[in-house]
Structure 1
Amino acid sequence: MAQFDLPLSRLVSYRPPREEPDDFDEFWRATLAEQDERHPLEVSFDPVDTGLVQVLTEDVTFTGFGGQPVKGWFHRPAGAQPGLGVVVQFVGYNGGRGLAHETTLLAQAGYAVLVMDNRGQGGGKHLVGDTGDSFVTGPAVTGFITQGIDSPETYYYRRHFTDAVRAVRAARQHRLVDADRVLTCGASQGGALSLAAAALGGPVRGAVVDVPFLTHVRHATEITDAAPYSELVRYLGARRDRVEAAFRTLSYFDGVNLAARVGARGLFSVGLLDTICPPSAVYAAYNHYAGPKEMVVYPYNGHEHGQAYQDVEHLRFVREVLGAP
């Protein structure tokens, strides 16, 4: 696969106008306030035996959108004392929280990690899930990007982004966590959730946003036919009368608009061969990101981006942002 998008010399300055509704901030303020009023956050942390001795894990359950319980894992170093910095980690499309031992790298480095399950996902080939979604409504193409897309109020990612905000709040409630030392992290859909949690959930120290999904969405559908954006293309190919209404809904969830509201330090990554989350869509969010930021570029990689090499960047960034464990 050759590079198909803009050359890097143009990507670094690619900053398209934001397609943002006038009531963006009010929509999210009202959404989160309504959920707080109707479904106050409750969190439980229950120890589980994973077979590991240097990392301890707790099974997390917290109140998500609509009062629905959302699962997660909370990992921490064995023998940790109060004052831990915590990374809230979000998972990619069709994935779930996985098995408990699969997401312990940052806990091995001395930090706490809360891994949020994805509602309704986790039935694919990687990272199994344990959280359902009780609010599916309306016609949709198989997948999640078109679920409830007729309005922002019914859209799947309204629920999912609210869960992400609450995951950060849940992590802050653990007895060993320093509530002021919080960082969000994720790749692809997880990158979208990382942006959403950092933008909507109160101040965090930093955000890791690897190859983010749901950014510059209309543009992405015009230059790639890869899933998941192809799900949206198929839906709009059938629902020709709903094109503008769908993109209006998506504007409340587009990472370009969320990025403009994050003042924390950011670490992004991009694969210049990525047909799933095209480089220009990634750079659109990066160049609108309001906080201090850095981009790691993988010229000969696609959506897998840096993998273990990017893990090294994560370890560096977390230490710089949260301080030594």
Structure 2
Amino acid sequence: MPRFDLPLPELRDYRPAVREPADFDDFWSATLAESRAAGGDVVVEPVATPLTLADAYDVTFPGFGGESVKAWLLVPAGADGPLPAVVEFNGYGGGRGLPFERLGWVASGYAHLFMDTRGQGSAWGSGGATADPHGTGPSFPGFMTRGIDAPEEYYYRRVYTDAVRAVDAVRSLPMVDADRVAVCGGSQGGGIAIAAAGLSTGLVAALPDVPFLCHFERAVGFTDSDPYQEVVRYLSVHRRAEDRVFETLSYFDGVNHAKRAQAPALFSAGLMDPVCPPSTVFAAFNHYAAADRSIEVYGHNEHEGGQAYQWAEQAAFLAARVG
């Protein structure tokens, strides 16, 4: 894939005006308050694994509307805490998989909570375990247009709320230091991490890697790759729905959430990325509110970004901030 977006010097200055609803903050305050008021317990159950240097737990916590969401928790074997924690969100279509698939954070001394993404987990990987018990109006296959008629019904309202409640859940655990919690994720997980950073307070870091779900109005018309193309195909049928669709998406745009995020942040972008074009990533990064922010750029990579190279950068960034 050749480079197709703005040159890097222009990307570094790219701060587009993005549609932002007047009731954005009220919408999210009410959404989170309702879900927290719904209650529900955080249930942590030990699970047997082949691991000898990490203890694994099957976690169920209350997400959107108090609905049960699954996660894996890994902690260093025998650790009594309080530990710094990393809450991680997954890429599009993937589930939480198996508890021993992701060992980098626990091997580095963190409690690691990996959140299942409701309704996903059947496109790749080792599967998911969380249903999305909500219907939807007319939509294109995938998740991008589910409930897109209104922000109250949109699929990512539930997912973003689950993410914030995952942060709440990990902070409630006795082995975790509630003041040293970070969020991370790649692609869809990166977009969710930005939203979690914008909707949560007191996070020690946010680590969005090649994030999805940013600058929708550019992305939908700029790339011919899925998942953004799901919206294109929906609009090609619902020909008069464009304004309504982008109004809904504005409540979930990573740019608007980045404007509110105060946690130190390390982003990444691939300059040849056709899935999450670099201009959409830089739009969120350049609007990110915290002064302590940086971005790693991979000039000859597509959506894979830096992979293990980026994880090493994240680990160093986070270690410098958890003390």
Task: Tell me which residue corresponds to 1:205.
Answer: 204
Task: Tell me which residue corresponds to 1:192.
Answer: 191
Q: Aligned partners of 2:186 and 2:269: how far apart in 1? A: 10
1:76-128 CA-to-partner distances (Å, cap 9, x unmatched) read 10121221000000001001111111112110011111000000000012242
Task: Indicate the larger mover: 197-206 or 112-121.
Answer: 197-206
Task: Tell me which residue corresponds to 2:39.
Answer: 40
Taking only the aligned residue pairs, the percentage that are identical comes to 52
Task: Tell me which residue corresponds to 2:84.
Answer: 85
Matched, 1:51 2:50: yes
Q: Aligned partners of 2:101 and 2:314: how far apart in 1? A: 16
Task: Tell me which residue corresponds to 2:313.
Answer: 313
TM-score normalised by length of structure 2: 0.98
Q: What is the CA-CA distance between 1:195 and the residue it aligns to?
A: 1.0
Q: Aligned partners of 1:126 and 1:58: how far apart in 2? A: 19
Q: Is contact 2:42-2:62 (8 Å) kept?
A: yes
1:217-272 CA-to-partner distances (Å, cap 9, x unmatched) read 11001110100000010001100111100000000000000000011100000000
Structure 1 SS opposite 2:163 = helix
Q: Is contact 2:268-2:305 (8 Å) kept?
A: yes
Q: Aligned partners of 2:182 and 2:36: how far apart in 1? A: 22
Return structure 1 stretches of 4+ with deviation > 2 angstroms. none
Q: Aligned partners of 1:82 and 1:279: how far apart in 2? A: 39
Q: Aligned partners of 1:128 and 1:198: how far apart in 2? A: 26
Q: What is the CA-CA distance between 1:42 and the residue it aligns to?
A: 1.6
Task: Tell me which residue corresponds to 2:116.
Answer: 117
Q: Aligned partners of 2:62 and 2:115: how far apart in 1? A: 12
The one-letter amino acid paired with 2:178 is: A
Task: Tell me which residue corresponds to 1:303.
Answer: 303
Q: Aligned partners of 2:94 and 2:43: how far apart in 1? A: 22
Q: Is contact 1:64-1:70 (8 Å) kept?
A: yes
Structure 1 SS opposite 2:267 = strand
Task: Tell me which residue corresponds to 2:74.
Answer: 75
Task: Tell me which residue corresponds to 2:249.
Answer: 250
Matches within 5 A, 1:141-220: 141-220=140-219
Task: Tell me which residue corresponds to 1:66.
Answer: 65
Task: Tell me which residue corresponds to 1:102.
Answer: 101
Task: Tell me which residue corresponds to 1:277.
Answer: 276
Q: Is contact 1:198-1:204 (8 Å) kept?
A: yes
Structure 2 SS opposite 1:47 = strand
Q: Aligned partners of 1:192 and 1:158: how far apart in 2? A: 13
The one-letter amino acid paired with 1:257 is: N
The one-letter amino acid paired with 2:265 is: G
1:123-167 CA-to-partner distances (Å, cap 9, x unmatched) read 012242110100131011110010000000000000010000000
Q: Is contact 1:90-1:191 (8 Å) kept?
A: yes
User: Where does structure 2 lack aligned partners over 5 or more consecutive residues?
Assistant: none
The one-letter amino acid paired with 1:134 is: P
The one-letter amino acid paired with 2:301 is: N
Q: Aligned partners of 1:231 and 1:240: how far apart in 2? A: 14
Task: Tell me which residue corresponds to 1:20.
Answer: 20
Q: Aligned partners of 2:279 and 2:152: how far apart in 1? A: 28
Q: Is contact 1:271-1:302 (8 Å) kept?
A: yes
Task: Tell me which residue corresponds to 1:230.
Answer: 229
User: Where does structure 1 lack aligned partners over 5 or more consecutive residues?
Assistant: none
Q: Aligned partners of 1:308 and 1:184: how far apart in 2? A: 17
TM-score normalised by length of structure 1: 0.97
Task: Tell me which residue corresponds to 1:30.
Answer: 30
Q: Is contact 2:201-2:262 (8 Å) kept?
A: no
Q: Is contact 1:166-1:201 (8 Å) kept?
A: no
Q: Is contact 1:192-1:255 (8 Å) kept?
A: yes
